Chains A and B, each alone.
Chain A
Amino acid sequence: MSDEIVITVNGKRHPVQAAADTPLLYVLRNELGLAGPHYGCGEEKCGACMVLVGAKATQSCKLPVSEVGQTRITTLEGLIEEGELHPVQQAFIEEQAAQCGYCLNGMIISTAALLWKTPHPSELQIREALDGNLCRCGSHLRILRAVRRAESLLIGEEG
């Protein structure tokens, strides 16, 4: 085996035991015990497995863990700071933006990445940013409202 792989997840460094070509998703779920990112399709088509790689919302179901390198990974759990929910998480609760909640991880991660890059997105930008995240229960409108609420909560934080 080559050099040990070490990834940085939610601010902590983790040596990886899995083989180098293991998709990041399984390392996060099974080695690090994180339950935020979920398996949805294994083909980067639904968004259930999203994590932030740097500031970018990225599907983790195919990404080999060896390709992550030094880039910091943040999962749904990592958005919580000192026990406080991230404004995007808070907004999803306030808007009751879920039914089964299986897709929530990807929705929140995508929203966090969008608002980081584009603090005041247009309606079109929001919808396009979320088009790669599938929801089968039909929570779309609540999720769109949650994005708007997150936008204003984030302004509140800055202000």
Chain B
Amino acid sequence: MAAPTQDSNSWRGPRTGRPGSGRREAAWGEVSDQLDDWIAIEKDESVTAFSGKVELGTGVRTALAQIVAEELDVPLERVHMVMGDTARTPDEGYTAGSMTISGSGTALRKAAAEARRAMIEMAAERLDAQINELRVREGVIAVTRQPERSVSYAELMGGKSFELQVSDKTKFKEPKDYQIVGKSAARADLPAKVRGEASFIHDLKVPGMLQARLVRPPNPAAKLISVDADSVKDIPGMVKVFQRGNFIGVVAEREEQAIQAAKQLKVKWQEAAAYPNMQELFTTLRNQPTEDQALVEKGDFNKALAGATKKIQATYTQPFHAHASIGPACAVADVQGEHATIWASTPGPYPLSGALAQLLNIPAENVRLIFMEGAGSYGQNGADDAAADAAILSQAIGKPVRVQWTREDEFIWEPKSPAMVMEVRGGLDAKGNVAAWDYQVWSPSHVARARFAGQLVTAQLLSGQAAPQSRFSFGAERNAPTNYAFPVQRVTVHYVGDSLLRASSFRSLGGAENTFANESFMDELAAAAGVDALEYRLRYLTEAREREVLEAAAKRAGWESHPSPRKDKAEVAEGRGVAFARYENDQAIVACVAEVQVERASGMVRVKRIVVAHDCGLIINPDGVKNQVEGNVIQSLSRALKEEVKFDEMRITSRDWETYPILTFSETPEIEIVLINRPEEPAVGAGEPSTVTTAAAVANAIFDATGARVRQIPFTAERVREGLGD
């Protein structure tokens, strides 16, 4: 199978005179309107497309290439993507929030359409023909009736600059004419990875590169008392024990020497408590001062609740979760005087380059940040911090340095997905309808990206200063409101200032936790009303497109209508549950049905089958979307069933795969996916939406099977057993 694109985002450096140099003064979120920043036609008939977004393992490299190939009318394999290099690509901020297709995809689509339009005009002149007499096939423009009168893109523009602005007026192709977009395309990066070719930041080798490991304090509150550099001087190849503040790195010629030095180095720390008491986590979280935001206020909740026939209330909790990337963070830096080249698997090459310039105290324009793929990150893991570690060590030594975090470094120091508390109250009228709905969530910010040096662990260890308190709080509001048309409802977010453990973005931000609470509570109301869970949801969904998704999932799952619980008295009880959400309330629409078995004696849950119906508007790459949905379901199931970061006041105790287990092959259910394509609707992201519905669908299925309601993630056997009572 031919690779449709190839990774030209290598470390061989930029080609000279290359258009597409992205070092423009663009604020975050403002993208360049210069055509040459996005598209270059090469002399060999290939096309280079530049994106400031990066490949985080979701396959956007391939999807973006599809968009460019489609709009330009060139074969997919001729499009080469260059992504996330501050010397070559536009500034597109962070790759996050399932926005690559809608953001970079739209920009590239416009640029490709503009380039095509411009080249057709040139061809008309060159061929002495009218524009409407011309057609484009595979990058060749020809007179329709005399195809021998033709000129290729490369003949017109190979190696040249367009020097044009992308206009908003250029017409796009009609979706009905699509040949490449909407069809499954093989992942461009896969053949090299299957062959074991260097593909990841971990595989990068720079001439003269030294190897480093870090020696971290036991927790962020510990202070260095002493470090004995002599304790490693017998290790051959030792280059340096670098210490400043609480930051220690050992640098050696060979990797195994650096590993040995990190183990052997004698360091004394003055220890201090750094974390809250885990038993009281949710109380501690909730008792903080909050900044409150009312997201929805419709009707008079208190009055409606007072008039309700039945009133119920439930509290749901979400512990800290680890991103737990399979490959711990790695980065390479080459800092020479006032100039730095840094290779990192960061989701935000431009913002990170600014933060690193601050850290290194050199001008921002002297820092070149080159993205290279890491292991899947699903948000902010240790990648940015490792880049800073490498930069500091390289600056100290004056040679290129590669830093590899250990598994334990990653578990302890990566920012976690924050802990949250969700409290929902509801009232039913005499007919069992929702008379009042009140949703409250307590959460720290889900985003603490490294826009400034102070947000990097490296900077905190160097200076002994804690991370600056985030001045804005973001993410807890995501999917806090539902799309249900309740007559009276109130939704309030209580932003708490202190995340207690370092926290930052994880796939969907608060979307997954809020949907877990909303959709569990919807189920509790349906059960209180004695109504089937699917039917109950459909009562409150008014938009046809949303209803269709929910109905499609139910149909594929073979949904049997009955009020929950089933009162299955079997030793292994079986049940099914449903959950629905529209991501960010106006993006992709997802419905999930889970089928579970619960072993009464132990409380153990086995998920047998999961069905997802998914509408993300126009689908660019159906197999790519399916791959994302499968991944979302499995990862979110792992989080719901098994995952919880454990800690005591002195240590994070989840530090390896035994203390933080994730879902295995034996535990993976069957997954069936119904994709609903809407060619006339905008393409919205598919990287996150289907992560939000799994936990509630499973919790609801456990309830259907047994009558036990689990409101705490993860749904461990003990918790389910406890819920069973008897």
Please determine whether chains A and B interact with each other in the same assembly: yes
Contact with B along A31-54 (1 / 0, CB 8 A): 001111111111101101000000
A41 near B407 (CB under 8 angstroms)?
yes
- A128 / chain B contacts, CB cutoff of 8 Å: 665-666
Least distance between B661 CB and chain A CB atoms (Å): 9
Least distance between A93 CB and chain B CB atoms (Å): 6
Least distance between A104 CB and chain B CB atoms (Å): 5
B195 near A142 (CB under 8 angstroms)?
no
Name B195's contact: one of A29, A80, A100, A136 (CB within 8 Å): A80
- A98 / chain B contacts, CB cutoff of 8 Å: 187, 190, 193
Whether B31 is near chain A, meaning CB under 8 Å from some CB there, is: no
Whether A18 is near chain B, meaning CB under 8 Å from some CB there, is: yes
Whether B384 is near chain A, meaning CB under 8 Å from some CB there, is: no
Query: A94-148: which have CB < 8 Å to B?
Result: 94, 96, 98-105, 108, 126-128, 130-131, 133-144
Query: B167-221: which have CB < 8 Å to A?
Result: 186-187, 189-191, 193-200, 202-203, 205
**Size of the chain B interface, CB-CB below 8 angstroms:** 60
- A46 / chain B contacts, CB cutoff of 8 Å: 326, 407, 657
A136 near B627 (CB under 8 angstroms)?
no
A30 near B186 (CB under 8 angstroms)?
no
Name A142's contact: one of B202, B326, B627, B664 (CB within 8 Å): B627
A136 near B326 (CB under 8 angstroms)?
yes
- A96 / chain B contacts, CB cutoff of 8 Å: 186-187, 190, 623, 627
On whether A141 and B630 interact (CB within 8 A), knowing A99-B57, A101-B190, the answer reads yes
Which of B196, B328, B406, B671 lies at the interface centre, i.e. has the most chain A CB atoms within 10 A of its CB? B196
Query: B553-605: which have CB < 8 Å to A?
Result: none
Whether A155 is near chain B, meaning CB under 8 Å from some CB there, is: no
B326 near A40 (CB under 8 angstroms)?
yes
On whether A139 and B407 interact (CB within 8 A), knowing A30-B255, A98-B187, A101-B57, the answer reads no
Least distance between B214 CB and chain A CB atoms (Å): 14
Contact with A along B605-642 (1 / 0, CB 8 A): 00000000000000000010001101111110010000
- B726 / chain A contacts, CB cutoff of 8 Å: none
- A18 / chain B contacts, CB cutoff of 8 Å: 254, 256
- A142 / chain B contacts, CB cutoff of 8 Å: 627, 630
Least distance between A106 CB and chain B CB atoms (Å): 9
Whether B128 is near chain A, meaning CB under 8 Å from some CB there, is: no
- B59 / chain A contacts, CB cutoff of 8 Å: 99
Whether A76 is near chain B, meaning CB under 8 Å from some CB there, is: yes
Contact with B along A69-92 (1 / 0, CB 8 A): 000000111001000010001001
Name B656's contact: one of A26, A43, A77, A127 (CB within 8 Å): A43
A134 near B376 (CB under 8 angstroms)?
no
Whether B34 is near chain A, meaning CB under 8 Å from some CB there, is: no
- B378 / chain A contacts, CB cutoff of 8 Å: 136
The CA-CA distance from A142 to B326 in the complex, in Å, is 17
- B203 / chain A contacts, CB cutoff of 8 Å: 29, 35
Name A48's contact: one of B256, B327, B635 (CB within 8 Å): B327
- B194 / chain A contacts, CB cutoff of 8 Å: 76, 85, 89, 92-93, 101, 104, 108
Whether B404 is near chain A, meaning CB under 8 Å from some CB there, is: yes
The CA-CA distance from A103 to B657 in the complex, in Å, is 14
A136 near B656 (CB under 8 angstroms)?
no
The CA-CA distance from A101 to B195 in the complex, in Å, is 11
Binding site secondary structure of chain B: loop
- B324 / chain A contacts, CB cutoff of 8 Å: 136
The CA-CA distance from A133 to B630 in the complex, in Å, is 18
Query: In the complex, which residue of chain A has the Cβ closest to the Cβ of B658?
Result: A45
Least distance between A26 CB and chain B CB atoms (Å): 5
Contact with B along A15-26 (1 / 0, CB 8 A): 000110011001
The CA-CA distance from A22 to B253 in the complex, in Å, is 14
B634 near A140 (CB under 8 angstroms)?
yes
Name B664's contact: one of A26, A43, A80, A131 (CB within 8 Å): A131
Contact with A along B229-254 (1 / 0, CB 8 A): 00000001000000000000000001
- A45 / chain B contacts, CB cutoff of 8 Å: 656-658
Whether B544 is near chain A, meaning CB under 8 Å from some CB there, is: no
On whether A77 and B195 interact (CB within 8 A), knowing A41-B656, A136-B375, the answer reads yes
Least distance between B637 CB and chain A CB atoms (Å): 8
Whether B362 is near chain A, meaning CB under 8 Å from some CB there, is: no
Least distance between B579 CB and chain A CB atoms (Å): 18
- A92 / chain B contacts, CB cutoff of 8 Å: 190, 194
Least distance between A36 CB and chain B CB atoms (Å): 3
- B327 / chain A contacts, CB cutoff of 8 Å: 38-40, 48, 102
B635 near A138 (CB under 8 angstroms)?
yes
A85 near B256 (CB under 8 angstroms)?
no
Query: In the complex, which residue of chain B has the Cβ closest to the Cβ of A103?
Result: B326
Whether B654 is near chain A, meaning CB under 8 Å from some CB there, is: no
Contact with A along B300-336 (1 / 0, CB 8 A): 0000000000000000000000001111100000000
The CA-CA distance from A108 to B1 in the complex, in Å, is 18
Query: In the complex, which residue of chain B has the Cβ closest to the Cβ of A34?
Result: B196
Least distance between A94 CB and chain B CB atoms (Å): 8
Whether B58 is near chain A, meaning CB under 8 Å from some CB there, is: yes
The CA-CA distance from A45 to B407 in the complex, in Å, is 10
Least distance between B431 CB and chain A CB atoms (Å): 41
Whether B650 is near chain A, meaning CB under 8 Å from some CB there, is: no
Least distance between B633 CB and chain A CB atoms (Å): 7
Whether B360 is near chain A, meaning CB under 8 Å from some CB there, is: no
Subset of 7 A-B contacts with CB under 8 Å: A46-B407, A93-B190, A100-B374, A104-B193, A134-B326, A136-B325, A141-B630
> Which 3 pairs between the two chains have the least Cβ-Cβ distance?
A100-B57, A36-B196, A138-B634
B residues sitting closer than 8 Å to A (CB atoms) are 1, 56-59, 186-187, 189-191, 193-200, 202-203, 205, 236, 254-256, 259, 324-328, 373-376, 378, 404, 406-407, 623, 627-628, 630-635, 638, 656-658, 662-666, 668, 670-671
Beyond A139-B634, A144-B665, 8 additional contacts (C-beta under 8 Å) are: A39-B202, A43-B657, A77-B195, A127-B664, A127-B666, A136-B376, A136-B635, A136-B662
